[in-house]
Amino acid sequence: MKRFAFCMICFLAAVMYSSAQQNPKYLAGAVPEKDGRVYFSKTLKATQLSKDEIYKAVSDWCKLRFAETDGFRRKVLTADSIQGELIALGDDYLVFQNTVLSLDRAHLLYNFTLSCRDGACEVNIFRLTYRYKVSTSDVPERYTAEEMINDANAIKKGKLVRSSSKFRIKTVDYVEGLYAEIEDLLGKETLKKVNK
């Protein structure tokens, strides 16, 4: 019975890995590039908010999101309310697997910029690097996004390369999570303004 349960767990893990491999969300084009460098960029709309209202909301969010904490080098580098621009250094964990027996994760470091204008906010995430400590070494391995997650290195024959797939999948999900946080924030600010 135990052997059957173990085989089922292995089978389900393989099916989940395979489905992520085939998910078009992570395949060609999922990791955009600009001038040969990985560069995520998205303009988020908030048509009823002014540049100053958007800047105030995202500035407060950035102060919390990029607050310096032990073990992380994240911080807001520049905040310019006149231009409506914010620049921050991001530092977070990408957790690939977290079980009782194993914790597989990498530090993700990146540059983050916000540029606000009336009715919209442009978000840019670039210069992504990873520090990954494998169980066989005390010294972390260092990779750039260009080495690890761009289409040229992460996709072969229409499928994700196994060695970099977890980095690509978790990075795409992480970036989408940041976009979602800001969209949610701008949506709440719009509701506040409409309900006044």
- Residues 6-19 have pLDDT tens digits of 445 545 455 455 44
Long-range contacts of 28-33 (CB under 8 A, 24+ apart): 28/151, 28/155, 28/158, 29/151, 30/168, 30/172, 31/145, 31/149, 31/150, 31/151, 31/154, 31/168, 31/171, 31/172, 33/150, 33/151
Model pTM? Answer: 0.85
Q: Domain spans of the chain?
A: 2-195
Mean pLDDT value across residues 17-43: 85
Q: Which residue from 168, 163, 174 is spatially nearest to 149, judged by alpha carbons?
A: 168
* Rounded percentage of the chain residues whose pLDDT exceeds 70: 87
What integer pLDDT is reported at residue 8 of this predicted model? 52
What integer pLDDT is reported at residue 70 of this predicted model? 82
Q: Mind giving me the DSSP string for 8-33?
A: HHHHHHHHHHHHHHH-GGGSTTSS-E
- DSSP code for 92: E
What integer pLDDT is reported at residue 194 of this predicted model? 82
Judged against a pLDDT cut of 60, whether residue 4 lies above it is answered with no
Q: How confident is the model at residue 167 (pLDDT cuts 50, 70, 90)?
A: very high
Tens digit of pLDDT for each residue in 103-113? 888 999 999 99
Tens digit of pLDDT for each residue in 125-155? 999 999 998 666 778 889 999 999 999 999 9
DSSP E strand boundaries for 157-195: 159-160
| Average pLDDT score over the chain | 88
CATH architecture of residue range(s) 2-195: 2-Layer Sandwich (3.30)
